Structure 1
């Protein structure tokens, strides 16, 4: 085969592959067309409301900038997650496209009583469910809630805040160092505190923002806080 024929064959193959790639992209976009359009419209409204470009809107909303730029330039393989949309809606102060009649879709999760943030709180022995509350639809299975008592974790947590955590994810204190957690002690108390290493191996300190630390805490288990509902806080 002559060199010219080989080059022509290679060019034809490249064109064929390029056309196939474009077809695949178009097929994906057609499947997601409606969802993508709604999400792009939502992002553009958030940009207009805040006066920020996509990169700075993402950073201000605690979202990876590439998440928005890929969506806006049409190279995203999927639309935004519910969690990302809610973060942006909350920062921009605009309705979420996930909301229905002004109400964001949610699911009911159990409330397992109170945790102390200053006050000493001893849950009932069975640690049974006392109520239910709404959590975002994007929350993981096992999500549960407790209600804060006291103010030693102010300004991050106030009395009345509903704190969400994964009740199925009971971790050792070594795995929760420097995290703010729902903490259950072997002596029966339950707290919301930051866990730090104690003076010796196997000893831990529970720290607050506005109260003396609890030294040598005998921790049964802990679970990192995932998010907080501040609508019911007591001022």
Structure 2
């Protein structure tokens, strides 16, 4: 059961995302610059929202803004904030490494399960995915959670080379692989963690992010 605090005297469901944002700012005492930094969104975007030049934002940024206040999008729009005593991180979906790989965002935006933030991580701008199947054994097992930091839209930073990464290809399929440079610029070799699984050569990626933390299934505290 969440320890939640109401943001002001607004109705249960906000009329606009802007209403929820202004109420959260007022109740939390956070500055818009701090929210922009925590959520990884533009300060100008938040300023336009606060000034009424826009009443909403794209769904991905809305999820990040809600997470910067320690809650998911659904609770944010209801005017509720999860207590920061037990901050949470959203589980974006499931991911595999075999031939049949689930796509990301298996859950409706903001409506997926949450997991307590592991020690050593901050909940801002961090996402988790759940491992499905046994194609990543013995490194990762079914039900394990992998935490990663999204580096922005359509971003494949140079520091991913040689590391285990969560990534998405141009077909919208999610993978967890060791990423190596491909034969041509913009191409990557995806090396399977399981020696018996197939590697992928010269793949183009929509985005990739290094795995920040691996949490075995029996340690994860889903909420």
TM-score by length of 1: 0.49
For 2:159 and 2:107, the matched residues in 1 are separated by 25
Query: Any unmatched runs of 5+ in structure 1?
Result: 1-104
Deviations 1:117-158 (A, max 9, x none): 224112359973421111224313211111011333221111
Of 99, 105, 114, the residue aligned with 2:94 is 114
Number of residue pairs matched?
129
Alignment match, 2:215: 229
Q: Which moved more, 1:182-191 or 1:160-169?
A: 160-169
For 2:150 and 2:202, the matched residues in 1 are separated by 24
For 1:120 and 1:144, the matched residues in 2 are separated by 18
Matched, 1:139 2:121: yes
TM-score by length of 2: 0.51
Matched, 1:189 2:173: yes
Does structure 2 retain, via aligned residues, the 8 Å contact 1:173–1:195?
no
Does structure 2 retain, via aligned residues, the 8 Å contact 1:149–1:159?
yes
Query: Any unmatched runs of 5+ in structure 2?
Result: 1-84
Output aligned runs, 1:99-178, within 5 Å: 106-118=86-98, 119-124=100-105, 128-129=109-110, 130-140=112-122, 141-168=124-151, 171-172=155-156, 174-178=158-162
**Structure-2 change in CA distance of 1:109 and 1:220 (3 Å):** same
**Structure-2 change in CA distance of 1:215 and 1:128 (3 Å):** farther
**Structure-2 change in CA distance of 1:221 and 1:153 (3 Å):** same
Superposition RMSD in Å:
2.5
Report which of the two structures shows the higher radius of gyration computed on alpha carbons: 1
